[in-house]
Amino acid sequence: MKKILSIGAAVLGAAAFFGLYQYFRTPESALEATPEVIVTSAEFAQALRAETIETGDFVQLSGEVVAAESSSLELRGGVLITRAQAQQNKPWPESGTHSFKCKFNGVEVDEFFGDTLYRLNDGFLLDAANSEDLD
């Protein structure tokens, strides 16, 4: 009986340790993750319709910057990328074609303009930006 209780306590302790580890671990960033798909921003909608991309997937994509703000930018094709916290102090391009790694967050339809927007967060700029593309 004592042997069964000690084995049960060890299993319960291991399960509790694993559960707490999973709960308190830092989530994987897009930069560290292996992308599920590599695609251009113009082909993003097509890949989404083909169900090769799902919400929560890590994506590596490249595309032409059409609009830039302080913490996000938009690529051709309606792809909106929000910077990762680690990228906040690094300059991001305002124009040109660049590559990014980020996490797909979902689809949004702009009610005012009727555009479909694809939101990605935790974005990392993969290529070195040229000096003429920066502020």
pLDDT of residue 74: 92
The model carries a pTM of 0.69
Q: Is pLDDT at 47 greater than 90 in this prediction?
A: no
pLDDT of residue 135: 42
Structure tokens at 108: 């949004």
* CA geometry: angle 27, 124, 90, nearest 5 deg: 115
pLDDT of residue 133: 43
pLDDT of residue 29: 65
pLDDT tens-digit series, residues 97-131: 999 999 999 898 878 878 888 999 988 998 754 44
Report which of residues 132 and 109 the model is more confident about: 109
pLDDT more than 70, % of the chain: 88
Q: What are the two backbone dihedrals, phi and then psi, of residue 75, each rounded to the nearest 5 degrees?
A: -100, 155
CATH assignment of 37-133? 2.40.50.110
| Average per-residue pLDDT for the chain | 83
Q: What are the two backbone dihedrals, phi and then psi, of residue 14, each rounded to the nearest 5 degrees?
A: -65, -40
pLDDT of residue 130: 45
pLDDT of residue 129: 45
Return the number of other C-beta atoms located less than 10 Å from residue 101's C-beta. Answer: 24
Where in the chain are the domains? Answer: 37-133
- Whole-angstrom Cα Rg for the chain: 20
pLDDT of residue 98: 93
15-24, 59-68, 85-94, 97-106: which has the minimum mean pLDDT?
Answer: 15-24
